[in-house]
Amino acid sequence: MKNKKMTALLAGIFMVGVSLLLILMSAGQWPSQARAKVTPGTATVSPPIPAMVSAKADNGVVKTDWKAPDQEAAKLRANEEVPFVETFIDECLLCRQQKLRDQGLSTKDIPNTYFLLDSPIIKKQEDHYKPVRFMHAKHAAEANDCAVCHHYRPTDPEALETTRCSACHQESFKKDHPERLGLKAAYHLQCMKCHQDMNKGPVDCIGCHAKNVPDHKELVKLPANPAPEQVTNECLRCHQEAGEDMLTTAHWLWKGPSPNTMEHRKEVRHGKGTDVFNNY
Ligand code: HEC
Ligand code: HEC
Ligand code: HEC
Ligand code: HEC
Ligand code: HEC
């Protein structure tokens, strides 16, 4: 039936439009072969979702107004393997705060105003997100207290009073130190707790790190001039769940006209939910 074929084709084109829009928003790249097929205006343009806007930012790192002073040096620092510290001085927070004040520690003692947190220890376990930007000097100035974060020091008298977290917090469930929190948990607990308590700073996942979305130019395999269904099929090869979620949305179930249309509220004429065929 000609009519069925037409609607199937239209539905197909619509799906390609939505797919390409998604790719553009998330990875910031178009799959080169599929581009030829898309007709502008086939996809409904909704306001961008914050998650996807963030994922598009420079270097894949979540963007704010703040600019990193030296991204390359920070990357090198992030990859340093820090020797593990076995023993620490257990002192109460108030005692430590007083001690660091007496020592006159201040933002002048901050050699690195900025850290990119991208630990090789954590990456070995999981790598779902891009590195986290941490504005060290800005935080130290805001907190006006080094001890809230640098809560312990190593026993070794030669060690820095404000030793890196990653010296004491490394793998979770370290065999000889099961009481020692892993680095990811140490960061998450300290960073998010303070943001929550102060009601300032991000507590949502993408406020600190963008999703690590792989380059889809490498992933998507399509022939030179793919049919709309081929593109959808290719996405579904990996995104089965997203495909099933889509079936519960208006993209799949739409019926026209909108029930909000004045004087036509009760009329439901055409749409995928009634008489239009879904090819995919
Ligand atoms: C206040 C900032 C902050 C927030 C909010 C935050 N994280 Fe993180 N997250 C970090 C830091 C810092 C690291 C460690 C980065 C490193 O050194 O690799 C990290 C690492 C991770 C890692 C391991 C590294 C990776 O790439 O897989 C996962 C998984 C993760 N976070 C998930 C989440 C989830 C899920 C949420 C939201 C519920 C969240 N985070 C919210 C700061 C944050
Ligand atoms: C909001 C939390 C926070 C505050 C406040 C803070 N720091 Fe830090 N500091 C960090 C984090 C996180 C790191 C990086 C940890 C890592 O790499 O494991 C760091 C690293 C450092 C390092 C590098 C240590 C090394 O071994 O290379 C120095 C030095 C330092 N801080 C000094 C200070 C001083 C001095 C103050 C107070 C004026 C201060 N910090 C306040 C969180 C903080
Ligand atoms: C000299 C070692 C050492 C350094 C450096 C260190 N920690 Fe810890 N941290 C510990 C030990 C030991 C514990 C567990 C025992 C305890 O809390 O009494 C701990 C516990 C924690 C906890 C659990 C809650 C709490 O406050 O007790 C968090 C969160 C934490 N650390 C985050 C950090 C962060 C973030 C940094 C860097 C800014 C850091 N730690 C630096 C040794 C250290
Ligand atoms: C002592 C409290 C405290 C801790 C601990 C803390 N933060 Fe924050 N953070 C703040 C405050 C306050 C702000 C808001 C600063 C502002 O609005 O200028 C903030 C803002 C931020 C922002 C947004 C900055 C911007 O310019 O938009 C990021 C990202 C961030 N924090 C990451 C982290 C990470 C990662 C950690 C843990 C390593 C951390 N914070 C630990 C208090 C804290
Ligand atoms: C070979 C496997 C593969 C294929 C084919 C593929 N993707 Fe992906 N895609 C991934 C992986 C892996 C991720 C990152 C993990 C995740 O978010 O699920 C991802 C992430 C995404 C994201 C970001 C999701 C988020 O939560 O931020 C979008 C959007 C996306 N893919 C769209 C598409 C579209 C559209 C197609 C078809 C043109 C496609 N993908 C084909 C594997 C694939």
Give yes or no: residues 96 and 29 share one domain: no
Please give the Cα distance from 43 to 270 (Å, whole number): 18
Please give the Cα distance from 112 to 161 (Å, whole number): 15
208 CB under 6 A from ligand 1?
Answer: yes
3-state secondary structure of 274: coil
186 CB under 6 A from ligand 3?
Answer: yes
Q: Which atom of ligand 4 lies nearest, measured to the CA of 117?
A: 35
pLDDT for the residue numbered 257: 63
Last residue of a domain, one of 182, 208, 234: 208
Query: In angstroms, how far is CA 256 from the centroid of its own chain?
Result: 36
pLDDT for the residue numbered 24: 38
In the reported structure, the alpha carbon of residue 187 is separated from the centroid of ligand 1 by a whole-number distance in angstroms of: 8
Q: Which atom of ligand 2 lies nearest, measured to the CA of 146?
A: 37
In a domain, 123, yes or no: yes
Residue 49 token pair: 């979702």
Residue 253 token pair: 């179930």
Contact call for residues 243 and 236 (beta carbons, < 8 A): yes
Segment 148-155 mean pLDDT: 97
pTM of the model: 0.77
What is the total count of domains within the chain?
A: 2
Indicate the range of 24-38, 103-117, 156-170, 194-208 predicted with least confidence. 24-38
Give yes or no: residues 127 and 152 share one domain: yes
3-state secondary structure of 244: helix
* Tens-place pLDDT, residues 239-260: 999 989 988 888 888 776 656 6
The residue segments making up the domain with residue 235 are 2-57+215-253
